[in-house]
Amino acid sequence: MTEKKRNLERLTGVKGMNDILPRDVSLWFFFEKTVTSILHSYGYQNIRTPILEYTSLFRRGIGEVTDIVEKEMYSFIDSLNGKKLTMRPENTAAIVRAAIEHNLLYDGPKRLWYIGPMFRHERPQRGRYRQFHQVGVEALGFKGPDIDAEIILMCQRLWGDLNLTGIRLELNSLGHKQERAAHRDQLIAYLERYIELLDDDSKHRLYTNPLRVLDTKNPALQDIAANAPKLIDFLGNESLAHFEGIQSLLSENNITFTINPRLVRGLDYYNMTVFEWVTDKLGAQGTVGGGGRYDPLINQLGGKPALACGWALGVERILELIREDQIVVPSEEGCDVYIVHQGAAARSFAFVVAEQLRDAGLDVILHCSSDDVLVSFKSQMKLADASGAAYAVILGDDELQRDEVSIKSLRSDRTSGDNIQQRVPGKRLSEFLTNLIVTRSGKY
């Protein structure tokens, strides 16, 4: 291949890392506005962490023997200092690292939320991408079952505000470390009886993380997993009381749920409460989001011991549900004004007018074209109409000579007479347009 031909090759994005195009942005804005409003209503504060973290953070936080750490992380050596970095595959470990590093809990518990891209190297499919977005909450320093119930209620409120249906809540408790240890011994003994039937992943996890065997998606192993010893049978009084407290609070708030004894989640930092929101509408990617308690994690990452819980929701999967349910999403409104102009003098004046209107708080698109290209008023008006603008401001030789500006409504009923072109003095333009738009849309 010649050098010239190589330079002309069509470039594409990385597989599984998708562009979000303008036509899709209304859906993203709708979701983001809805979820952030709910998070603020519960008193959660936004926190933003870097996309890159030291790999050791995720190995220690998520767990060495997890699919994420073993197979899915984007990691590389920093050429400047030789240290290994990873593009965050999830954000809880990073939030906890930030809380420890900046001593966020010095004055008491914190309610935090985040939104942003995560990265996992896995096979792309519907609702499962290599760059994907999560919104999540982390409640740090809270002990009782009330905070567990609160973060679950937040999700239920989100489904209601988004008008989503068919999302089910599944609950389980993983208990304390010693309770899991007692269950682990019996679980290993049980699975050893079927070792010849286990797939390679399950054999690999048998002695390192046997709880993950219960979460297998292999149809041939479902009966074995279903009949395995249940962790809930090993819970002591404290763990049971916490779990029952959550169930009571959810029931009192009319939240329907199912106890799923095989629910373990895919990250090692979980203990006590775990939960998932699942749906049948997305095929294999039925988990919309999930979370639970991770009480050991803050201490595990070097901080003073403090209890914590949280959840993360997959944004792309929720957007797929919105599309699946054919929910009508408000489109992002077009700008207020589109300025069309013709002639060198009008072009210069158009820039001044545009800035004056922006100073008045209006959203303005100014028609732009090459100096040597004359675009007719008719063509410019088509562009103005397509832009979604409420009004066109027209500047030409006639307007300049009279120190006037022509205004035409682009969105009114054609039979109402509101679309008649009007002329106003240039010095009154900002006031006149602002009054029109306030009356028409109640923007201010």
- pLDDT tens digit sequence for 181-222: 898 888 889 888 888 888 888 888 888 878 888 877 888 888
Per-residue pLDDT, averaged over 114-127, amounts to 89
Q: Are 354 and 339 in contact (CB under 8 A)?
A: yes
Q: What is the mean pLDDT of residues 408-424?
A: 68
Grouping H, G, I as helix, E, B as strand and the rest as coil, residue 444 is coil
> What secondary structure does DSSP assign to 346-367, as a single string?
HHHHHHHHHHHHHHTT--EEE-
The region of weakest confidence among 72-86, 106-120, 360-374, 375-389 is: 360-374
The answer to whether residues 238 and 251 touch, using CB atoms and an 8 Å cutoff, is: no
Residue 89, C-beta contacts closer than 8 angstroms, at least 6 positions apart: 58, 62, 68, 72, 73, 74, 118, 119, 120
CA distance 267 to 271: 10
Note the pLDDT of residue 301: 93
pTM: 0.84
- With 90 as the cut, is the pLDDT of residue 327 above it? no
User: Cα(31)–Cα(25) distance, rounded to whole angstroms?
Assistant: 10
Scanning the structure block, which residue is given the tokens 């290209």?
373
Tokens of 151: 């973060």
444 pairs with which residues across the strands? none
Residue 332: its pLDDT value, please?
67
Q: Which residues pair with 240 in a beta bridge?
A: none
Q: State whether the Cα torsion 28-89-239-103 is positive or negative.
A: negative
Domains in the chain, CATH or no CATH each: 22-175+235-324 (3.30.930.10), 337-441 (3.40.50.800)
The helix/strand/coil state of 160 is helix
pLDDT greater at residue 24 or residue 101: 101
Q: Which residue has the tokens 């240039």?
A: 426
Is residue 265 over pLDDT 90?
Answer: no
pLDDT, one tens digit per residue, over 372-390 is 567 788 888 898 888 888 8
